[in-house]
Each structure stands twice: as C-alpha cells, then as structure tokens.
Structure 1
C-alpha cells in the first residue's frame, strides 16, 4: 500500500509499515484496544473471586494493549518496552493473581504496569498527533488513550497503597482497597465526575490524585479539543477514512 498523495517519503513509509501490521487487528486497532479496555472493566467483577480468571484476563489484556500499540506505532523503543516492562508485567500479573496479599509482588507488579501503560498512552497520543488528518481509528484512539491513562494511574495508586498503607479509604471499610476499587477511583478522577466512594486520605495519595486531575483536564483541552477542531475542518482534507 502506497502513502497518501503529497506525503513525504518518511511519512509514506511509516503509513505503509503501519498498514502492514494492522491486518492483525483489522482496520481499526484502536477500536479493538478501546473495546478490550471496556470489556475488561465489565468482565472483571465476574472473575474477581477466580484466581486463574484474573491471571488470564490480566495477561490477555496486556497482550492486546501491546499489540494494538504496535499496530498503530512501531518503533525501536516499543521493542524495549515490551522486553523490559511488558514481559515481566505479564509474569507478575500471574504472580499477583495467586499471591494478592504479598506486598513486594503487588508493588513490583504495579511498578511494571504503571510505566507500561503510561508509555502506551504516550504512543497513542503521538499517533493522534502524527499528522493533521483525522481517521476513524484515530477517533477510537482518543478514547483508548484515555482509558490507558486511567489504567496507569490505578497502578500508581496500588504502589502508593503498598508503600504508604492506609492511603485510601472506602465505603467498604478496611485499610486496603483492591485494584478494581482503585481503577474506579482513577476513572472518576480522570473524568472529573467525582463519583468515587474511594477517597485519598494521606498526603502522597492526595498529591498523585491531584496530578491525575490535571492530566484529565489537559487531555480534554489539548487532545480532544484538537481532534474536534480537525474533525470540524475535515472537509478541507477530504472525508474521514
């Protein structure tokens, strides 16, 4: 497949490599990623009490996230992220599922997952900003990148809770919140809806929650606003593909 008319050779080559990988996920790998993220949210409550189920869901989810990013943005750095974070992250996903109360396993897992998801979100945003044309897959990538950021902060909160016990309180009582509760807090904070019944009560937890609030506002102001502006003016560049 050739590049679009008027594309410089480097950009045309990037587009061609991207389209060579995309058949794995179809024409819209970002839509697959977004669907996988939302499906994981819906499935997790059913697997909450199943150790093998949680382990399998975590490994499959990591694989889908990594493959989707590879489909839209191949780079040498991505290979190192897969080797240094993705692979060990899958291993510790399984270990954490079988030993959820072992502090060092939970901490190492969180410290692997958080930078992994943040890098994926960075790659998705770079994909959104790679040119001034809006494709259907880039519209899906807007939502996919947002959910990946929420995943990343959820693991940051997990690490905070291990290092500073009692950082979060919730309606269910107890000193520790499980991962799904912290994911709920992350989504509530990032979207600025403030509907979570999980509350940060220690300083480090509160500072990181405030950072996520800022990230959520900046995402809407910079990423979403840019996509809306380009979509409004898409007639200048032709119809959305």
Structure 2
C-alpha cells in the first residue's frame, strides 16, 4: 500500500470553504433575480422562496464552521424553510413576512458568528478571506429581509423614483440594503417612515463598523503576513 504521508488522499477542497459557497450562491441569486423581468407576483414569490431554501442551509453550514452554537441557527432556519414552503403550497403571502423575519435573524446570527470566527486569531486564512465577503452579503441580506418586514408591518415605509406609491419589491429593497451598507447611497429608494429610517441608519452604522473593524483588520494582517 502506498504511504499516505507521501501520497495523501485527495480532498474536496471546495467543501473546506463553506463561506465561499455561501458567497457564490448569493451572488448567483442576484443574476437570477435580474432575469425575472416583468413576471407576475406568484413567480416572484416562488423564485424568492426557492433561493431561500438553498441559502438558508448554507448560512447554517457557515455557522457550524465557526465557534458558535449551531442549534440556534437550526432553530431559526427550520421554521423559516417551513414557512417558505407553506407560502408556496398554500398561496399564503402573509407567511412570507414571518419567514423573512426568521431569515433576517438567521443571517444576522450567521454574520456575527463569521465575525467571531475571523477575529479569534491573528492569522488570515483563505477561508477567512471568503468569510469577509460572505459576512458582507449576510448583513446585506439580513437588512433587506428586515426592510421587507418593515414594509409589511408599516405600509408606505419606502418610496422610489418609479411608481412611488406601490410597495417596493424584494430586489429594490436588496438594492437599498447593499447601497446603504457599502456607503454608496444611490438614493432612488428612500425610507419615508421613522421605522424605516431607523433601520437604514442602523445599517449605515453597521457598514462603517464592518469596514473599520473587519476589513481593515484583514488587510492589515495580510500585509503583515506578506512582509514576514
């Protein structure tokens, strides 16, 4: 038999970086949303829920790789998946609101776990580089779900340049979330009610804190490692 020290067994290296898979799936979902066009509301809900069924378990997988309590993630993910399936099967759009609330909590929890995972030592690994990108998308998705819940509970929370009186669709709220978190602030989707403005301000502070604490730390440690 060959010596395993000289001939190590091949591994699926991709599965060693669940943060990379999560980041890839969420970026791919953006391309899928872009292909929706002017489809009806039912199709939007089906695709929205189908993507959630993929992304939510990936978020739980990411939490499991970090030093966090995994059962909390599953406690949030399981009913979120069940509510998404029920919303499609029974044509109950009101269930999407509660599913979105749970998914928002799950993404915030997963993002916090990834931040803890990145800050637990002073070495920047490949997985932590993927985790820094995945954390950004998790926070952006979490606030987008929070915006969706806010709009459902407080109608008129957001307005936009196109059809200002109608509720904002999911992609518009995600666009607002990414713009706010990144500090771009394009401004074509605007919070109107106090509840919505508070959420936007919280995301602005989260974006500044993420860049100041996480991104700057990853860049600094990468520079130190290269010099060494």
TM, length-normalised to structure 2: 0.84
Give the Cα separation in 2 of the matches to 1:66 and 1:24. 19
- Contact conserved, 1:25 with 1:68, CA < 8 A, in 2? no
CA shift in 2, pair 1:195/1:179, >3 Å:
same
Q: Which residue of 2 aligns with 1:64?
A: 58
Gaps of 5+ in 1: 1-21
**Matched residue pairs, number?**
212
Q: CA deviation at 1:96?
A: 4.0
- Contact conserved, 2:56 with 2:103, CA < 8 A, in 1? no
Give the Cα separation in 2 of the matches to 1:41 and 1:154. 13
Alignment of 1:199-238 (within 5 A): 199-235=190-226
Q: Which residue of 2 aligns with 1:16?
A: none
Q: Structure 1 residue 182 and structure 2 residue 173: aligned? A: yes
Give the Cα separation in 2 of the matches to 1:134 and 1:24. 17
SS at match of 1:132: coil
Moved beyond 3 Å, runs of 4+: 22-25, 51-54, 95-103
Taking only aligned residues, the RMSD between alpha carbons, in angstroms, comes to 2.3
Q: Structure 1 residue 195 and structure 2 residue 202: aligned? A: no
Give the Cα separation in 1 of the matches to 2:202 and 2:224. 32
TM, length-normalised to structure 1: 0.80
Indicate which of 42, 47, 50 corresponds to 1:53. 47
Alignment of 1:80-229 (within 5 A): 80-82=72-74, 84-97=75-88, 102-103=93-94, 105-173=95-163, 174-229=165-220
Gaps of 5+ in 2: 1-10
